[in-house]
Amino acid sequence: MFLDEAIIEVRSGAGGPGATSFRREKYIPKGGPDGGDGGRGGHVYLRAVKQVTTLLDIGRRRIFAATSGEPGRGGNRTGRQGRDLTIDVPVGTVVREVAEGVEPREGHLVADLTRPGQRVRVATGGKGGKGNKAFAHATRQVPKFSQRGLPGESRRLYLELKLLADVGLVGLPNAGKSTLLSRISAATPKIGDYPFTTLKPSLGIVELADFTRLVFADIPGLIEGAHLGQGLGTEFLRHIERTRVLVQLVSAEEGDPEVCAAAFRTVEDELRLYSEILASKPRIVALSKVDVLAPDDREELRRRFSELIGRNVFAVSAVSGFGLPELLAESARIVGDERVEDEYAPA
């Protein structure tokens, strides 16, 4: 499954109450106040780890609560603080707060956990109350009261897992994305000769001759207006933002460079209108299904299409395997550069 989600409630611990106590020891009259402070309530954290790959188990539990702080005691003893709770989630989890009357996916962004070990506090434990010792001063030497601890927080959170793929395959419906993924990997996406065959993203792992591994994602076809929700719309556009490189497939079936250029610009406009970050990602353009053309016509179409859009264009066929080694080599080269940049990027 490409998209995994869960709604949970997190509750931090309440702070312990302060103590109202007076020192009572033999031979020490008027010992004075000695009530200690209450302990802090436990915090709740989310932590991204590689060992967890799904939100399924987290969603089943629903409520996660840290423990409360213990009360303060006499003898100026502070109560033990509540135990913090850390919830391990998969790398790539987006955390949003669920507000009343608001769609979970439109909620306030709390955190985007994209790196292993990244941790965020999602509920802060209540502060412990002050004991009566803290309220003693020159004009009030015998305070007979203490402070209650503060309550903890309770928040409903929407967790959305966006799997991290190296390469995202994009294009209009029936551009050949699913067929290409099935040819270069062991993935088995649904393939058909009608639009929107792919209803959910599919992942495939591609192993190259030098033992390099790339994770490819087949994204459902985009149409004009996708950034506004047309077709499968924004349901999957946001997931392409996780990929390092985009491979945009344009079908060569029409054999017309003008038609190819129009198809390219439709997808390019949708990417740009949805997100400038998405539009600025490294992109490889590939003319797909070139097996329907004669070799000379294939090269002429590729050349003229390349001139119209001002980009280098690869010609590939998932059926015959033509051009696939070159396409995969270029994908691996760009992904390698992006991985190095990510590794040395500031956390």
Q: What is the dihedral sign for C-alpha 56, 207, 282, 51?
A: positive
Q: Name the more confident of 28 and 49.
A: 49
Domain boundary among 162, 192, 212: 162
Task: Clarify whether residues 65 and 136 are in a common domain.
Answer: yes
Task: Clarify whether residues 110 and 180 are in a common domain.
Answer: no
**Length of the chain in residues, anyone?**
347
Task: Clarify whether residues 129 and 266 are in a common domain.
Answer: no
Task: Clarify whether residues 178 and 158 are in a common domain.
Answer: no
Domain count within the chain:
2
Q: Cβ distance 201 to 190 under 8 Å? A: no
Confidence of residue 207 (pLDDT cuts 50, 70, 90): confident
Task: Clarify whether residues 131 and 224 are in a common domain.
Answer: no
Q: Tell whether the model's pLDDT for residue 235 goes beyond 60.
A: no
pLDDT one-digit tens code per residue, 297-307: 999 999 999 99
Farthest CA pair distance, the chain: 109
Look at residue 279 in the predicted model and tell me its pLDDT. 80
Task: Clarify whether residues 280 and 175 are in a common domain.
Answer: yes
Task: Clarify whether residues 77 and 225 are in a common domain.
Answer: no
Q: Name the more confident of 281 and 210.
A: 281
Nearest Cα neighbor of 122 from 157, 146, 151 is 157
Look at residue 236 in the predicted model and tell me its pLDDT. 54
Which of 109-118, 237-246, 327-336 is predicted least confidently? 237-246
Q: What is the mean pLDDT of residues 105-126?
A: 92
- Residue 332 is classified by DSSP as H
The structure tokens listed for 335 are 């992904």
Q: CB neighbours (10 Å) of residue 291?
A: 15
Task: Clarify whether residues 259 and 317 are in a common domain.
Answer: yes
Look at residue 222 in the predicted model and tell me its pLDDT. 57
Q: What is the mean pLDDT of residues 96-104?
A: 88
Task: Clarify whether residues 171 and 237 are in a common domain.
Answer: yes
The structure tokens listed for 169 are 């395959």
Task: Clarify whether residues 60 and 119 are in a common domain.
Answer: yes
Look at residue 109 in the predicted model and tell me its pLDDT. 92
Q: Tell whether the model's pLDDT for residue 283 goes beyond 70.
A: yes
Q: Name the more confident of 160 and 197.
A: 160
Output the domain CATH number for residue 286.
3.40.50.300
pLDDT one-digit tens code per residue, 6-23: 999 999 999 999 999 998
Note every long-range contact of 227-236, with CB atoms under 8 Å and residues 24 or more positions apart, other chains counting: 227/270, 227/273, 227/274, 231/173, 231/196, 232/196, 232/199, 234/274, 236/200, 236/201
Look at residue 174 in the predicted model and tell me its pLDDT. 79
Output the domain CATH number for residue 127.
2.70.210.12
Task: Clarify whether residues 192 and 336 are in a common domain.
Answer: yes
Give the residue numbers spanning the domain of 274: 167-343
